[in-house]
Each structure stands twice: as C-alpha cells, then as structure tokens.
Amino acid sequence: MHSPGPLPVNIPPARYYYFNDRIVDAHAPLLQLQDLGLFRGYAVFDFLRTQGGKPLLMERYLQRFRHSAEAMRLTLHLPDATLAELIRELIRKNGFAESGVRLLLSGGYSPDLFTPAEPNLIIRIEPYTPAPQSSYTQGARLVTDEYLREWPAVKHTNYINAIRNQPRVLAAGATEVLYHWQGQLSECSRSNLFIAKGGTLITPPLQQVLAGVTRGQVLRLARAAGIPVEERPLKLEELWQADEAFITATTKRVMPIVQIDHHTIGAGTPGPLSRHLLELWEREVEGKM
Amino acid sequence: MHSPGPLPVNIPPARYYYFNDRIVDAHAPLLQLQDLGLFRGYAVFDFLRTQGGKPLLMERYLQRFRHSAEAMRLTLHLPDATLAELIRELIRKNGFAESGVRLLLSGGYSPDLFTPAEPNLIIRIEPYTPAPQSSYTQGARLVTDEYLREWPAVKHTNYINAIRNQPRVLAAGATEVLYHWQGQLSECSRSNLFIAKGGTLITPPLQQVLAGVTRGQVLRLARAAGIPVEERPLKLEELWQADEAFITATTKRVMPIVQIDHHTIGAGTPGPLSRHLLELWEREVEGKM
C-alpha cells in the first residue's frame, strides 16, 4: 500500500493576525513574556476552515470556542458576530485560496503566573491545503497510543502527547495517533474515530471525546440517510473486527482508515459506508455537485 | 484552626528578564504570536529560589531543566555554567531581597504549529516571599482531586487542572490540591507528598511523581538521620491513617499538613517528624544556625 504521508510542514506564512483589539503584522513581536498560556498551558483554541473562500460552519466553531473559554473561566469579550466579521476581514486581507482560521484565548498576563488574568485573544490565518486525494482513494493509516486525554470536552491547548507521538506517526507513514485507555477507544489527537460494523456506524460518546464539528455533522448526515448510528463506549478489540474505520476532522473531512499499527482494517481499502458519507459530506456540507 | 491561607497574588513585577540571547525589559512585547508553547502547550520549565540572595541548589534545578528539555526534544543551547551566570546577573539587576527564578523553554516559532522549532528561552525573576510562619507552626490544609498527571517525570507546563482547582483550594483555605487516581496517591499540583506512620517516612516513587529537588533533599536528610524511609505506591486510605503528613516544594520547604478535605491528619497539629525534618532542612540546606 502506498502511504499518502503527512501534510506538508513548510507552509507559507500569513501576513496578518488579529491580536486583542487590532489587526497586526503576523510576525511582529507582540506578546509580553508572562502569558499564562505560555507558562502554564492555560489556553483554549479552535480551528475552522474556508470552503470556496467562505468560512464553513463558522457559527458552530465559534459556539464551541466560547464554550471552551467559559469552562476555563476565560472571558471572550467579543460577540460571535464581531468575531465572524473579523475572521472574514482577515481572510480577505491574507488572500489565500483557502484558509484555516485558528482562534486562541490564553489566560493572559498573570502577575503570579497562576491566576487567570485578562485573556489574550489571537486569530491566526493559515493557508489551508486539503489532504492529498490518495488519502481518500487509498485510505490512510493510524498508529495507536495508550493515553487518557485530560478534560476532552474542552478544546484546550495541551498537545504534548500528540507532538511526542509525531515521530512515530511520521515513521509509520500515518496520518494520526489514535488514543485508547484501559481497553477503551477515545479519539485521535486531532480527529474523531468512527467504525462501521454490520452496516452500523459506531463512535465513542461525548463524555469521552471532543465534540468535533465534523463528527456532529457526519452523525447528522448518517441519521438523515437512515444509517444506524451508535454513540457508545468502543472497545479496542472492536476496532480489529470492524468492517470499516474512518476519522473526521476539520482538515480531514471523512477520511477512510485502512491500516492501524500492523492491523489491516476490513478489506484494506476504503469501505462503502466511508465513501458514502464522504459523498454526503461533499454534497450536503461543502455544497459540491 | 486558623488557616494560613494562600500566598499573596499581587506581587511587584520584575524589571528584567532574559529572552533567548539578551537581558530584556520584563514587560516589553517580545514574543511573536506563533509560539508552540502558547498554541500547543509544548514547553518545559523549572523554578528555583535564592536563600540569603544566593541561588539554592541551582545545579540540581538546571540539571532537571535540561532533562525535561531533552525528554521533549527541545535543545537547550546554553551550558549550565552560562545559565548560572545569567541567573546571578538577573538576580543582581532586579534587586529583590529574595528571588524566585523561573526558566522556560518553549517549542518555538513553529510554521505548522505542531513541529517543534528553535526553542524560545525565557528566564523570569520574581520576588520570593516565604510562606507565612503560621503554615509551619499551625500546619496547612490540602484538598484532594482525582486526577492522573500526564508524564509526571517531565516538568512541562500543563497546569490546567491545578488552575481549574484553584477556586476550591482558596475556598477551603488550603495551600494545595493533592492528586490521587484509582486509590493511589501521587503528588500535589506543585509539591510532593510525604506521610509518617509508626516512625517511618513514606512517599510515592519517582515513577508516579515529579523528581522534586526538595523531595530529594528531604529523603537524603532523613536517611542521614537514621529515619526509616519507603519510596513506594501509597494508598489514599493510608493518608487517613497517617500519624503525620507534609509537603515539600521549592517555595514551601517542609510544610506540615494537618487537614485534608474534612479529615484531620494525626493530632491536627504539626508532628515531630515534620518539625524535625524542617529543622534539618533549615540547618543543613539553608545553612541557618
């Protein structure tokens, strides 16, 4: 099997970010050093992308960003409508064909480096390059790691374990690392997991994973198409017996998985349910004909 | 029981930090926004303090800082001797009676915000105020939380759970939050835990906790004084049956604990072993007569 490999690392830089109250030069030195996000990992973020140059499902991402901020007692002063307008302006000014939009809210300049202060807000625009087509036609790979994600309901910035695993991911020609803990599957470091078994779609419940926006849309599309769906705890052994597996993420959409560690999933090629859901996604969400 | 309460939050700011290759104004905007420590929580740190104006046990803290950096594949270019000289110069320039010295090494300006880049190094000087004497004469309180710390051997910056618990800590008039997981005790958010039972000192082993510099010194002092010591897994129930408990940390030294949640520990006053070890600490490590 040819591996589609990782996404390219050397991406061109953005020219403009938003920082607290204004649009700024992306590479200017702007942050004071005593930020709580930097010194204590105390920050939340979110990430959305454009489709045809327009932010896709933006209101859902902004809603989740605000939920994460509130859970960590960080005040997001700007209303969603203002954030949406700023995001549109930044996308225009940076001028990429397609953009990724990363929002970050940190614990701010904390005198004791422990008590959250007035948050720092950053909006970062990145050029968005879709995954190579081979990831969808041939399927992608995962590696696994036994790891319990901290507070998965909140999109905080702790990606230590994901970055720690990245050399293994790259060495295996994989796309992602899949987490399990005491025999239970949860999610990938930056994607949600689904399996298909006997025509039923199964994915771990929201108590155990981040509420992926793509995950939510795929569940909605599946239910509307009459596909049986179960949101329930999923055992690692069930993965090895699955007919199909796929992951969902903002950048990856519905990406079929054909190999995990040394296990081949199903027939080793993208399965019919994965392909059907990708088609539904492209038609219903992305608006492709 | 009168509670000693938390340390003061409103501390005077430092005037000088060190940033990458020079001494800088502490509050200048210096950091570009796309730092991996900020966006992915990918950074390590360490913290030491002065005693009589001189850095205490500095070589051990620098050794641990380098160990944390290496574990996270971050290169600390400056040798320990250069770091030590910089730290002494920063302490002099800031001119506090006693100083805390915080070193941070982040994953740097990462174009894809995932792959570690050239690290950013920060050295921050803080005024150090010892805990109030009542913490030692009357003892301090803890609250507990069921939490499994990620990668405890490395002093990374993930303090989300510690900060999340801080309102509970303050409301209880406590000093720290103590972590346990599936019936096993580990450590506090910023301190190590010891108990005494039948004249023996017991503390969880290094597989489960950070290698506290103060912890290591207290173990050394105890062994030299002929006090029996066990480094072994410690059950939560053992805490409720303990004769004494105390925590060790750079800022807290050997601090007796007399209440944890609604449980009184031992007689509810600092025990003889805790007091003995604090005396040994002051005499042998701090050089007090």
Nearest Cβ partner of B163 from A11, A13, A40? A40
pLDDT given at position B13: 73
- Beta carbons of A38 and B35 less than 8 Å apart: yes
Q: What number of residues does chain B have?
A: 289
- Beta carbons of B150 and A166 less than 8 Å apart: no
DSSP letter at B208? T
Q: Count of alpha carbons within 13 Å of A25, Cβ hemisphere only?
A: 6
Q: What Å distances lie between residue A193 and A7, A177, A225, B173, B233, CA to CA?
A: 19, 11, 19, 43, 35
Beta strands in A135-276 (DSSP E): 140-146, 176-181, 184-188, 192-197, 200-203, 229-231, 234-235, 244-249, 253-260, 263-264
pLDDT given at position A245: 98
Query: Which chain A residue is nearest to residue B8, measuring alpha carbons?
Result: A112
- Tokens for A147, please give them: 């790891």
Nearest Cβ partner of A166 from B7, B35, B114? B114
pLDDT given at position A288: 84
pLDDT, averaged per 10 consecutive residues of chain A (289 residues), comes to 43 85 94 97 98 97 98 98 98 96 98 96 95 96 98 98 98 98 98 98 97 98 98 98 98 98 97 98 91
Computed over every residue of chain B, the mean pLDDT equals 95
Could you give the angle at the alpha carbon of B236 between the alpha carbons of B231 and B237, nearest 5°? 110
pLDDT given at position B4: 42
Other Cβ atoms less than 10 A from the Cβ of B20: the count is 15
- d(CA B270, CA B141) in angstroms, rounded, equals 11
Residues paired with B281 in a beta bridge: none
Q: Where are the alpha helices (DSSP H) in A106-212?
A: 134-137, 160-171
What does the DSSP assignment read for A117-134?
-SPEEEEEEEE--PPPTH
Q: Which helix (H) or strand (E) holds A280?
A: helix A272-280
* Paired sense of beta strands A234-235 and A184-188, if any: antiparallel
- Beta carbons of A160 and B158 less than 8 Å apart: yes
- Asked whether the beta carbons of B116 and B73 are under 8 A apart, the reply is yes
Task: Give contacts of A112 with chain B, Cβ < 8 Å.
Answer: 7, 9, 11
Which of helix, strand or coil describes residue B38?
A: helix
- Asked whether the beta carbons of B255 and B199 are under 8 A apart, the reply is no
Q: Where are the alpha helices (DSSP H) in chain B?
A: 36-40, 58-71, 80-94, 134-137, 160-171, 213-224, 236-240, 272-280
Residues paired with A10 in a beta bridge: none
* pLDDT tops 60 at residue B175: yes
- d(CA A166, CA A8) in angstroms, rounded, equals 14
* pLDDT tops 70 at residue B7: no
Tell me which residue has tokens 């700023």: A86
Nearest Cβ partner of A150 from B38, B150, B157? B150
pLDDT given at position B107: 98
pLDDT given at position B11: 56
For B231, counting Cβ atoms within 10 Å of its Cβ (0-12 exposed, 13-18 middle, 19+ buried), the class is middle
pLDDT given at position A236: 97
Query: Which chain B residue is nearest to residue A106, measuring alpha carbons?
Result: B38
pLDDT given at position A218: 98
Q: What's the CATH architecture for B134-285?
A: Alpha-Beta Barrel (3.20)
- Beta carbons of B163 and A29 less than 8 Å apart: no
Task: Give contacts of B31 with chain A, Cβ < 8 Å.
Answer: 29-33, 35, 38
Nearest Cβ partner of B33 from A31, A112, A116? A31
Nearest Cβ partner of B163 from A9, A116, A160? A116
Query: Which chain A residue is nearest to residue B30, measuring alpha carbons?
Result: A29
Task: Give contacts of A33 with chain B, Cβ < 8 Å.
Answer: 17, 19, 24, 26, 30-31, 122, 124
Task: Give contacts of B13 with chain A, Cβ < 8 Å.
Answer: 111
- d(CA B103, CA A8) in angstroms, rounded, equals 32
Nearest Cβ partner of B33 from A11, A19, A113? A19
- Beta carbons of A28 and B28 less than 8 Å apart: no
Closest CA–CA distance from residue B130 to any residue of chain A (Å): 14
* pLDDT tops 50 at residue B269: yes
Query: Which chain A residue is nearest to residue B40, measuring alpha carbons?
Result: A157
Task: Give contacts of B116 with chain A, Cβ < 8 Å.
Answer: 163
Q: Where are the alpha helices (DSSP H) in B130-183?
A: 134-137, 160-171
Determine the residue type at B94.
N
Task: Give contacts of B45 with chain A, Cβ < 8 Å.
Answer: 39
pLDDT band at B288 (very low <50, low <70, confident <90, very high): confident
Check whether domain A16-127 has CATH 3.30.565.10, yes or no? no
In this prediction the ipTM stands at 0.94
pLDDT given at position B2: 38
Task: Give contacts of B40 with chain A, Cβ < 8 Å.
Answer: 157-160, 162-163
Q: Is the dihedral of CA A153, A103, A176, B105 positive or negative?
A: negative
* pLDDT tops 60 at residue B9: no
pLDDT in tens, A247-287: 999 999 999 999 999 999 999 999 999 999 999 999 999 99
- Beta carbons of A30 and B35 less than 8 Å apart: no
Buried b (16+ CB within 10 A) or exposed e, A240-250: eebbbbbbbbb
What does the DSSP assignment read for B41-102?
--EEEEEEEEETTEESSHHHHHHHHHHHHHHTT----S-HHHHHHHHHHHHHHH--SSEEEE
DSSP letter at B31? B
Nearest Cβ partner of A13 from B28, B42, B111? B111
Q: In what order do the strands lie in the sheet with A120-127?
A: A22-25, A16-19, A120-127, A99-106, A43-51, A54-55
Residues paired with A141 in a beta bridge: A259
pLDDT given at position B12: 65
- All structural domains of chain A with their residue ranges: 16-127, 134-285
Task: Give contacts of B7 with chain A, Cβ < 8 Å.
Answer: 112
Residues paired with A194 in a beta bridge: A246
For A107, counting Cβ atoms within 10 Å of its Cβ (0-12 exposed, 13-18 middle, 19+ buried), the class is buried
DSSP letter at B265? P
Which of helix, strand or coil describes residue B35?
A: strand
